[in-house]
Structure 1
Amino acid sequence: MDKTGAGLLTLSLIVVLAGLMLLGWRGRLRRQQSLAPLPEFPAEAGQPLEAYPGQYVVTTSAGDWLDRVGVHGLGIRGNALLRVYPHGLLFERSGAPDLYIPQPQVKAVRTESGMIGKFVEKDGLAVVTWQLGDRDVDTAFRTRNAADKAPLLAQLTSLVPTSSQDEE
């Protein structure tokens, strides 16, 4: 086989693989169409408690760091500014719609070393488990500055309902 034949074979293999990836992504979006719409950011939001620059990593099904949520742009990684409000979280994302998580929907906060497509140092990601419609999801965020991680985690943890609130 000459160089031209090998080049054409390689190019056609790349095109086939890209087409299969596109079909897989479209199938994921089709399966997730029934997922509830994203919560609306309140018009009278007030001032944020704090803002943290960093990277929105991904939203996955809760507990399954390989099951990316593709609808509503939640599967798109990019730079973001995370604003923490008493009433919830606002991820102002570059190149994707903003994501607002109301405080009553926040269920848990933890750290992870990685989620689909992004692996960092031990406990480098702040992960918020929250309820989107009837489905629990995990959203990961990485602060740009390592010094911001501890204050962010403290503020995120303060949004998690306590067990006494759950019993009421």
Structure 2
Amino acid sequence: MITELAQEQAKVTNWPGYIGWAVGILIVIGLVYWLMRQGWNWRRTLQSDIPELPPVPEDLGPVLLTATGRYHGTTTAGNWLDRVVAHGLGLRSLAELTLTERGLLARRPGAEDLWIPAEALTGARRDSGIAGKVVPSGLLIVTWTHHGTALDSGFRADHPDEHTAWVTAVEALVTPSTTKTTKTEEEAAS
């Protein structure tokens, strides 16, 4: 008797109900994706006052450091949940980072390359998160200004132990420009 029950199969008799539920779920999923897209476009419209990013120069200057990894996005400085999506800054992608004496270049396949001139860099740090991405072992956060707006860009190197060297190198690059600016302001005041 048990073997007879085990061999018996349930027949699907309510096909219209199953099809209706499947179509309903697909419509809900489609609606959620459409709303997410609308939110992204709305954010882009709100940030339309952010000027175009600086172009990548022909001569990058002497290379200080290179690394491969991922670009995780840009936020307004100090607010790691306020993602900046204007000019492709919100798109995650693979990245090849190059730090030179003239600035930081993030070559991003499938997205516009990001060039941050040395005079725009204001610092770097290790942190655990940026908009939509939390990594306990850490991210490299580079702080920079773009036409008066302070921004944080998050990167994760393929070898996260390199982040400390990057923080040191960016800080060394930022410190001399701060000293030069202070000396120039003092000379102008004299």
**Superposition TM-score, scaled by structure 1 size:** 0.91
Structure number with bigger Rg: 2
C-alpha separation in 1, matches of 2:32 and 2:57:
43
Letter of the aligned partner of 1:121 in structure 2?
Answer: P
Deviation at 1:164, TM superposition (A): 3.8
Q: Aligned match of 1:115 in 130, 133, 137? A: 130
Q: Which residue of 2 aligns with 1:39?
A: 54
> Equivalent residues in 2 for 1:47-126 (5 A)?
47-122=62-137, 124-126=138-140
| 1:148 aligns to 2:162 (yes or no) | yes
Identity %: 35
Please, which moves more after superposition, 1-10 or 77-86? Answer: 1-10
Instruction: Classify the secondary structure of the residue corresponding to 2:31.
Output: helix
- State the superposition RMSD in angstroms: 1.7
Letter of the aligned partner of 1:59 in structure 2?
Answer: T
C-alpha separation in 2, matches of 1:146 and 1:27:
34
C-alpha separation in 2, matches of 1:121 and 1:73:
26
Please, which moves more after superposition, 135-144 or 155-164? Answer: 155-164
Higher relative contact order (CA 8 A, sep 6+): 1
Instruction: Classify the secondary structure of the residue corresponding to 2:169.
Output: helix
Q: Which residue of 2 aligns with 1:4?
A: 19
Structure 1: runs of 5 or more not aligned: none
C-alpha separation in 2, matches of 1:15 and 1:107:
42
Q: Which residue of 1 aligns with 2:6?
A: none
**Superposition TM-score, scaled by structure 2 size:** 0.81
Does the CA-based 8 Å contact 2:64-2:101 persist in structure 1?
yes
C-alpha separation in 2, matches of 1:117 and 1:15:
21
C-alpha separation in 1, matches of 2:166 and 2:127:
14
Does the CA-based 8 Å contact 2:77-2:143 persist in structure 1?
yes
C-alpha separation in 2, matches of 1:78 and 1:10:
30
Deviations 1:4-56 (A, max 9, x none): 11111111111111111111111111111110110122222234222111111
C-alpha separation in 2, matches of 1:105 and 1:33:
20
Does the CA-based 8 Å contact 2:123-2:142 persist in structure 1?
yes
The 3 A distance-change label for structure 1 pair 142 and 103 is same
Paired residue total:
167
